[in-house]
Amino acid sequence: MADTTPADPSDAWRIRAVDRGNGPVRLAVKDCIDVAGVATTSGSALVAATAQPADADADVVSRLLDSGHRVVAKTNLDEFCFGSTGVNPWFGTPVNPLDPTRIPGGSSSGSAVAVAVGHAEVALGTDTTGSARTPAAFCGVIGLKLTRGAVSMRGVQALAPTLDCLGVLAARTARIRAALRALGVEPRPLPDDARLLRFRIEGTDAELDASVDRALERSGLLVETVEIPGWGDAAAATRSILFGEAPTALAPWVAGALDRVGPDVRQRFATAAEVGPDELSEAYAAAPRWRATLRELCTDASMIVTVSMQQLPPRIEERSAQPNSATSPVSLAGLPAIVGPLDEVQPGSALRASVQVIGAEGSEWQLCDVLDRLCPDVSDG
C-alpha cells in the first residue's frame, strides 16, 4: 500500500484541500463526513484506494454551507476514527501546535489543529467518546460535543452507533454559536441562578485540577463541589460499547483486510475481540442508569465542571489506545459538553490546562455562556 504521508509535516492536518461554497467563514471538515464531489477516506489508505466522490453533502455540511460557511479542507484523523491519539500512519500525524513532541489527540486531530493554527474559523468533527473534545483540549481550542440526536448524522461514517455524535471545534465561542444557529440548535439563555457542580475525577494531575479551580473562582458563578459515584464504571462501560460496536461498523472496509490497515487499528481490533457478549450486554444495561444519574445533576440551571484531560497530552511514542476517561462517560449519557483552554500548565510552556462543562440536553448555548466566564481568552464578548 502506498505511503500518502505529506512531505511537509505541517500539512498533515489535512488530507486534501477543498473549495466548496461561497461563504466568508472557512470550514474544515473531518474526512469521515461527506462533502459532495470529494472522496471520503476516513483517514484510511485502504478506503482511499477505491473511494469515489460523495454524491451529496452530509446534512450538517449542507446546513453550514447554506449559512455562510465555505469548505476549505477535509481534515486528518485517526484511521476510521478508531482512536484518540490523532496518529495516522498513512496521511501523517497533525502537529500539536502547543508542543510538536506530543500527540494532537483524536480522533478529530486535523480539525483541532486547523482551528488552532488559523487554517479555518470552525471545523466539524465527530465525538464518540471524546473525539472532538480530546484534541481540542490537547491543542488549546474549543471542542463541543452536541446532544446525541440533536442533528442529523446522515453522511457521517459510523464507528459506534450507540455513542456517535457530532463535534464542532473553533478558537472562539462566537464561531461555535454561529455553527449552532446554522445547525438549528435553539438558543437557551443561561439562568441568573446558574450554578456549577465541581466534580474532581480521581487520578487527575494536581496542576490541571488547580487550573480549573482558579477559573471557577474567577467566574463569579455559584460553585458547589459534588461527588458523582460511578464515573469510572461509566468510562469502562463506554469503552466496552466502543470496542464492541466498532468492528461491525467498520466491517464493510476492514473484513478480510486487517493486514492493510495501520498498526493502531489492528491493535484496537485485537482489543475488541476480547469484548464478549456478556460484557457488552452489561454495558448497554448500565447506560440508562448512568444517563439518569447525570440528567438528575444537569438541569436548566446546573452544569457539571471537570477537567477535560487527566494528564498532559502524552508524547507521541507514549500514546495509549484507551479512550479519554474524562470525556467518555458524558458520551454514555448522551449529554452535550464543551471544553476550552485555561492557564499555561508551567512557566515557559505553551501547553494549556483545559476545562469541561457538561449540561442538560439542548443546553449547548448555555455551555458557551459558561465557557465565556471560565475561559475569557476564547470569548468575543
Residues serving a catalytic function are 30, 107, 131
Task: Name the residue among 189, 166, 177 with its Cα closest to residue 379.
Answer: 177
Residue 240: asked if its preceding bond is cis (omega within 30°), the reply is no
β-bridge mates for residue 196, sequence order: 223, 303
For residues 77 and 108, the answer to whether their CB atoms sit within 8 Å is yes
Task: Name the residue among 164, 233, 162 with its Cα closest to residue 201.
Answer: 233
Each as own residue / partner, the long-range contacts of residues 369-373 (CB below 8 Å, 24 or more positions apart, any chain) are 369/189, 369/190, 370/190, 370/194, 370/196, 370/219, 370/221, 370/303, 370/338, 371/142, 371/173, 371/338, 371/340, 372/173, 373/219, 373/220, 373/221
All three cell numbers of 78, joined, read: 485517526
Task: Name the residue among 170, 231, 245 with its Cα closest to residue 358.
Answer: 231
All three cell numbers of 292, joined, read: 439518569
> What is the rounded CA–CA span in Å between residue 169 and residue 181?
14
Q: Which amino acid is at 149?
A: G
All three cell numbers of 268, joined, read: 484496537
Q: Which residues of 17-37 are buried (b: 16+ CB within 10 A; e: fewer)?
A: ebebbeeebbbbbbbbbbbbe
Residue 126: phi, psi to the nearest 5? -120, 165
What are the CA-CA distances from residue 210 to residues 186, 305, 340 (Å)?
A: 34, 13, 15
* Start-end of H helices in the chain: 45-48, 59-65, 109-116, 133-139, 173-182, 206-219, 231-254, 263-272, 277-297, 328-333, 364-374
